[in-house]
Every structure is written in structure tokens, then in C-alpha cells.
Amino acid sequence: MKKVKMTVGILVMTLTLTAISCKDGKKDEPAAPMSNEMYQESMDDKDDMAMSDNQDAKAEAILKDYFNLKDALVGDDNDKAKELGATLASTLGNFDASSYSDSEQQELKDIMEDATEHAEHISESDIAHQREHFKIISKDVTDMVAITGTENTLYQLLCPMYDGGSNWLSMSKDVKNPYYGSKMLTCGEMQKEIN
């Protein structure tokens, strides 16, 4: 009898451990199905774009997704930023650099790889982390625009308070701070006009 009890005890412990480790290990799982969905969606987008047959349209597509993501962060919307991070990640992955020179292609490849990684993280993080990753993506996208150019006039804005000074891009020179959202919505300054 005692033996049976002990065995049962050990087994219960084992099973509990298994349950705990499974839970821990799969922590990030819920985000996965969503990003798949988003991926499919933007695959369709890609087809649309291929028809327009305009290389710069690809950079424009990245900018469009970037601005949407920025707006979600301005609005303190964690869930929306997750979705848009996944969208941006697949748009970045679809970028076609073939019309650029070899050195530009290499630079663009590095930019896309880096930005994709951070966009993927945004698709599964809390808002504080999303903002950390957004800072790096902002730099990547700014460097991309320096190579690809863009049809629109963009503004580079600066939040001097966030992480020793952080930039972001916007279509408008009005300050709407994606690093602090509603906490400090208009904190920051317009640094320069691009294009």
C-alpha cells in the first residue's frame, strides 16, 4: 500500500512537472496562428503589387506598414501593433532589391533581415518591448529610404527622452510620439524633412 502511494506520488509530481514545462515552453505560442494569418493576407498583397510592377512600390509598401505600426504604438494599442508587426515582417520579407546596385542590394538585404527580426518580435511582445524594437526598425527604415527614396515627403522626428534619444519617421511634421503614446503624446521635435 505504501509503495503504491509513493509511486502515485512520484507520478503526480512527474505529470505536474510535465504540465509546467509544457506551459512554460509554449509561452509564445498564441501569437503564432495570428502571424500565419497575417502572412497569408500579405501574400495576397504581394500579388497585387507584382502586377503594378514598380520596384519602389515595394519600399512604399514597407513604409505604409511601418506608418500603420507607428500609429498603433501612438495609440497604445498592443494587440494592433502585434498584428501590424507581423504584416510588416512579411512585407519586409517580400522586398525585391534586384533593381539596385550590388552594394545597395547587400545593404538592403542587411536592413531587411534586421528589420524582419524586430518586426517578428513586435508581433509577439508587450508594448514596452514593441517600442524598443520599433526604435531599431525606425533606423532600418530610415536607412532604407536613403537608398530607395520615396514618393512622399517624410519627416524624421526625435523623442529626446526615450532611450537616450530615439527617432521615428512620419508623413506629418506634427509630433505624435510612438515611444510614449498617450503618456507624452506631443513630446518630441521635428528634426528634418526627407525628400
Decide whether 148 or 176 has the Cβ nearer to another protein: 148
Decide whether 18 or 152 has the Cβ nearer to another protein: 18
Figure out which of the listed residues 89, 111, 122, 127 binds another protein, where binding follows CB under 8 A: 111
Q: How far is the CB of 65 from another protein (least distance, A)?
A: 19
d(Cα 70, Cα 178) in Å, to the nearest integer? 6
* Residue 169: strand pairing partners: 156
Figure out which of the listed residues 2, 4, 51, 98 binds another protein, where binding follows CB under 8 A: 4
Q: How far is the CB of 114 from another protein (least distance, A)?
A: 5
Q: Is the dihedral of CA 127, 129, 134, 135 positive or negative?
A: positive
Q: How far is the CB of 127 from another protein (least distance, A)?
A: 14
Regarding 113 and contact with another protein (CB under 8 A), the answer is: yes
Regarding 102 and contact with another protein (CB under 8 A), the answer is: no
Q: Nearest-5° angle of CA 113, CA 118, CA 121?
A: 130
Regarding 136 and contact with another protein (CB under 8 A), the answer is: yes
| For helices 78-93 and 102-122, angle between their N-to-C axes, nearest 10 degrees | 150
Residues 20-59 that bind another protein (CB under 8 A): 21, 24-25
Does residue 94 sit in helix, strand or coil?
A: coil
Contact 155, 194 (CB under 8 A): yes
Q: What is the largest CA-CA distance in the chain?
A: 82
| For helices 55-74 and 31-52, angle between their N-to-C axes, nearest 10 degrees | 140
Q: How far is the CB of 93 from another protein (least distance, A)?
A: 15
Grid coordinates of 8:
502515485
Regarding 132 and contact with another protein (CB under 8 A), the answer is: yes
User: Would you tell me which residues interact with another protein (CB under 8 A)?
Assistant: 4, 7-8, 11, 14-15, 17-18, 21, 24-25, 110-111, 113-114, 117-118, 132, 136, 140
